[in-house]
Amino acid sequence: MNYPKVGLITFGDHRGPEWSKVFERMTVPRHGTAVELISKLPVDLVSFPEVARTREDINEQVDALKGSGIEVFIVHTPCWTSPNLVVHGVQRMGLYTIILGNRDMGTHGCVGLFGAAGALASIGNEHKRIRMDYDGAMYEERLLPIIRAASAAKRLKGSVMGHFGGRSIGIDTASFDPMGWRKQFGIDVEHIDQLEILRIAETIDQSRIDKMRIWIEDNAKEVLYNDDKFTKEKFDFQLACYIATKDICKDLGLDFTAIKCMPELSNNYVPQCMTATFLPNNFDGEEGEKDAIVMACEADGDGALTQQILKLISGGMPTFFADVSHIDDARKTIYCVNCGAVCAWYAGRDKDPNKNLNKITIKQSIRPGGAAISGFFAAEGDMQLARLYRTNGKYRMAIIPCDAVTPNSDILDEFVKERGPHQLPALFAKVDFDLDAFVDEYGSNHISGVAGEYVEELVELCKMLDIEPVVFK
């Protein structure tokens, strides 16, 4: 897991007599306790043994934290401390700041907290105030979501999205404003012709393709080759496209991607379904364990960005992309179905990648270009669905906690009867909210997701990035 990198400084009273007579005995132990508790969270904490009391102390600690590459700054004010020195440290750091106070009656903690926070607010400095007991469970519940959100916002800045092709099959909600992203999120967009995938795929060494294909053949539930549209040669070229896309991401420094695919590639060459299966996955047959790289189908920029946010919030988990294909009102279930592939990890949610692949049938695509899709029903577990969309040009984010459920035989029989025998990869998302309100508000035919629940993290991130959160719960 790629944990958020957090820096902590405890600020103390700079006055000698007051420090030695009153505040030292209250501040120093609480500094140690805060460091101990935060170190137990899934974060990478950088801190110091000493409390920072003077401008020189603050400068030294801030500069060391900056050099370590922290993403989130925690200002710990257990007792009174001069607000101007906190402001000095925060401005020198230049990161999103959490001011951490306490509820202990004897510490004068409220005075230190409000003095520092009020001074920062007066100059328009964005920060979060948390006042709680020194309790590990409370830190995990209230502090950790804000840390994750601030880390994700920081990591988005300077990242690069690879946009292959343009708008696909007229999906307006998949389009986006690259310079708007620059302004609001600090993200660059590298525009790449889809032909580059095909060009590089032709140059991929056969040994790399064989390694991927043999791993899939040895471990997938089934590989249903035929003599027409899904031949081994077609599959090899599809896998070469996947490997080519990986190489492009590495060569151009792409952090996440969106690929048009339809109709040009899916009709005339091969659909990019193996890329959608394995690029967002954390393992493949060529490399073994690898970084999960977000891919959205149909060149969906906002879908890819939503996935990247979910990946960062979750510490690097594989992400999910699909259509909102059907809403089953009676069962309060949303059928999230993609046209040929979703990330392989969701087939089993297992640490063993082979066990995930064991649940996937590789079978012929119905697209004119033929080749393969990855067919499976997503495994059970909690799921955080989300989607960035725009209303009158301003971003909102739908935030949808749910449970991925296994459909019973009656549901599957009904699904096959209505959809036909060619089953696409699907996740059945059990929800518990007003579905009519969802239909009235939701702003895309696509949806993104990640395993787990990150409602608080996403709400906080939305506040940081000037996005309106819309929680369905």
Question: Do 264 and 392 reside in the same domain of the chain?
Answer: yes
**Model-level pTM greater than 0.85?**
yes
Question: Do 112 and 218 reside in the same domain of the chain?
Answer: no
Question: Do 239 and 127 reside in the same domain of the chain?
Answer: no
pLDDT of residue 422: 67
Please check the confidence at residue 424 and state whether its pLDDT lies above 90. no
pLDDT of residue 421: 65
* Structure-token match 């959160």, residue found: 469
pLDDT band at 144 (very low <50, low <70, confident <90, very high): very high
pLDDT of residue 99: 97
pLDDT digits (tens, 9 = 90+) for 16-73: 999 999 999 999 999 999 999 999 999 999 999 999 999 999 999 999 999 999 999 9
Query: Mean pLDDT across the chain, nearest whole number?
Result: 95
Question: Do 102 and 190 reside in the same domain of the chain?
Answer: no
Please check the confidence at residue 177 and state whether its pLDDT lies above 80. yes
Please check the confidence at residue 420 and state whether its pLDDT lies above 80. no
Spatial separation of the C-alpha atoms in residues 435 and 157, rounded to whole Å: 35
Q: What is the mean pLDDT of residues 323-339?
A: 93
**Which residues are CB-neighbours of 354 under 8 A, at least 6 positions away?**
219
Question: Do 146 and 166 reside in the same domain of the chain?
Answer: no
Domains held by the chain: number: 2
Tokens of 308: 């990247």
Question: Do 263 and 121 reside in the same domain of the chain?
Answer: no
Question: Do 83 and 168 reside in the same domain of the chain?
Answer: no
Question: Do 388 and 465 reside in the same domain of the chain?
Answer: yes
Please check the confidence at residue 407 and state whether its pLDDT lies above 80. yes
Question: Do 306 and 199 reside in the same domain of the chain?
Answer: yes
Last residue within a domain, chosen from 156, 180, 201: 156
Residues of the chain above pLDDT 70, percent? 100
Residue 434 CA, chain-centre distance (Å), reads 26
Q: Which amino acid is at 106?
A: G
pLDDT of residue 1: 77
- Say if residues 231 and 268 touch (Cβ distance below 8 Å): no
Last residue within a domain, chosen from 156, 190, 222: 156
pLDDT digits (tens, 9 = 90+) for 191-205: 999 999 999 999 999
- Say if residues 50 and 85 touch (Cβ distance below 8 Å): no
Burial of 152 (0-12, 13-18, 19+ CB in 10 A): buried
Tokens of 391: 């209303």
pLDDT digits (tens, 9 = 90+) for 262-274: 999 999 999 999 9
Q: What is the mean pLDDT of residues 108-130?
A: 94
pLDDT of residue 466: 97
Question: Do 152 and 164 reside in the same domain of the chain?
Answer: no
Q: The domain that contains 68 carries what CATH number?
A: 3.40.50.10940
Residues of the chain above pLDDT 90, percent? 93
Q: What is the mean pLDDT of residues 428-441?
A: 96
pLDDT digits (tens, 9 = 90+) for 361-402: 999 999 999 999 999 999 999 999 999 999 999 999 999 999
Question: Do 166 and 100 reside in the same domain of the chain?
Answer: no
- Say if residues 212 and 177 touch (Cβ distance below 8 Å): no
Last residue within a domain, chosen from 156, 171, 188: 156
Secondary structure string (H, E, C) spanning the chain: CCCCEEEEEEECCCCHHHHHHHHHHHHHHHHHHHHHHHHCCCCEEECCCCCECCHHHHHHHHHHHHHHCCCEEEEECCCCCCHHHHHHHHHHHCCCEEEEECCCHHHCHHHHHHHHHHHHHHCCCCEEEEECCCCHHHHHHHHHHHHHHHHHHHHHCCCEEEEECCCCCCCHHHCCCHHHHHHHHCCEEEEECCHHHHHHHCCCCHHHHHHHHHHHHHHCCEECCCCCCCCHHHHHHHHHHHHHHHHHHHHHCCCEEEECCCCHHHHHCCCCHHHHHHCCCCEECCCEECCCCEEEECCCHHHHHHHHHHHHHCCCCCEEEEEEEEEECCCCEEEEECCCCCCHHHHCCCCCHHHHHCCCEEEECCCCCCCEEEECECCCEEEEEEEEEEECCEEEEEEEEEEEECCCHHHHHHHHHHHCCCCCCEEEEECCCCHHHHHHHCCCCEEEEEECCCHHHHHHHHHHCCCEEEECC
Angle at the Cα of 292 from the Cα atoms of 290 and 294, rounded to 5 degrees: 150
Question: Do 180 and 279 reside in the same domain of the chain?
Answer: yes
pLDDT band at 109 (very low <50, low <70, confident <90, very high): confident
Spatial separation of the C-alpha atoms in residues 316 and 161, rounded to whole Å: 16
pLDDT of residue 317: 97
pLDDT of residue 450: 98
Q: What is the mean pLDDT of residues 75-88?
A: 96
Q: What is the mean pLDDT of residues 249-265?
A: 97
Please check the confidence at residue 184 and state whether its pLDDT lies above 90. yes
Burial of 470 (0-12, 13-18, 19+ CB in 10 A): buried
- Domain carrying residue 294: 160-471
Please check the confidence at residue 276 and state whether its pLDDT lies above 70. yes
Q: The domain that contains 355 carries what CATH number?
A: 3.20.14.10
pLDDT of residue 245: 98
